[in-house]
Amino acid sequence: MSSEDKAETTEHSLRGRVALVTGASGGIGHALARALARDGAAVAVAYGIGRQAAESVADSIIAEGGRAVVVGGDLSSADGPVRLVQEAEKKLGPVEVLVSNAGRGERHTLEDLTVEEFDRTLAINLRAPFLLAQRTIPDMSERGYGRVLFMSSTAAFIGGIVGPHYAASKAGLHGLTHSLASRFASSGVTVNALAPALIANTGMLPGMPEQLSAQIPLRRLGQPAEVADLALSILRNPYVTNQVISIDGGIHPG
């Protein structure tokens, strides 16, 4: 590797950046937080429920020589996302990398889906990411640097089997991504979305792994580390913005 290549690799790393990862106590969130920390970012490990699991993630990062803190908040409330950012910034400084990963996905049919469940799903899956972005992106823009990644789902493309509430909430993230990316690209802020499907160890699998694997062209479930690896590549690359990228074993050929 030439000296120019080394300089470019260092420039594109997240070393020294402050990252906020929501839903960081779960499978994908855990992998994302650790990947960011290994790349040199200080990570605010955010949770809605499961503080103990979030503390375990933070402890594992610290044990590996990284920097991490735990922050908690109710993303279903209108003021929860703002308070979450405030707590993260109080502990680590201005958020420069936002990974909005937390999500809700209880399975319902059109016939049994209640208004309350529809509203709660959209509050967590769509309104909270919007509020997190609204609180962090203007400051990123003023500083001339920012990375935002929304965690969507292949269900946004094909409907999926969780239900119309879930598919609609994830599809809404795509519109949010395109709107924000176009607005802030010239300020050094990239905004993208990642759309995984059928990832192991996430608590979001609508069935037995063996049965689900048969529906995937690659014939296996994805791994949280594979999602985190792609996420890190997107976050590190300053020329990738306004994209929705699938990681689903070939379920949805984009």
Catalytic residues: 166
Query: What is the C-alpha to C-alpha distance for residues 190 and 182, in angstroms, rounded to an integer?
Result: 9
Three-state DSSP class for 209? helix
Hey, which bits of 11-81 come out as E strands? 18-21, 42-47, 67-72
Which of left, alpha, beta for 198 (phi over 0: left; psi -120 to 50: alpha)?
left
Are 99 and 149 in contact by the 8 Å Cβ rule? The answer is yes
Tell me the two tokens of residue 111.
């016939």
Compute φ and ψ for 169, nearest 5 degrees: -65, -40
Encode 37-57: b = buried (16+ Cβ within 10 Å), e = exposed.
bbbebbbbbbbbeeeebbeeb
